[in-house]
Amino acid sequence: MTPWEEHEYRQIHSALARLRWHWDGAYQFGWDGAKCFAVRADTGTMVTAPTPEGLAEAVRLDYCAQPVPRD
């Protein structure tokens, strides 16, 4: 892994950690090496975006359209 690839990996995973904290179990977040994704806890539906910032917006829109029930 090049230094740039390592930097990108750390940046993406740091951003995904912030999303996990903010959404508190409503979605599971990950990165497959090409895109970021979130899986709804209630339906298992996947939301994707090329960047963590894009994913944050996509998750916000998904949640506004249909909130994930929380305990």
**In the predicted model, what is the mean pLDDT of the chain?**
95
pLDDT at 29 over 80: yes
pTM: 0.89
Q: d(Cα 43, Cα 13) in Å, to the nearest integer? A: 24
pLDDT at residue number 35: 96
Which strand ranges, in their side-by-side order, compose the sheet holding 27-31?
27-31, 36-40, 46-49
Q: Kindly report, residue by residue over 42-53, the tens digit of the pLDDT.
A: 999 999 999 999
- Residue 1's pLDDT is 85
- Domain layout of the chain by residue ranges: 3-65
Which residues have C-beta within 8 Å of that of residue 33, sequence separation ≥ 6? none
Given a cut of 80, whether residue 71 has pLDDT beyond it is: no
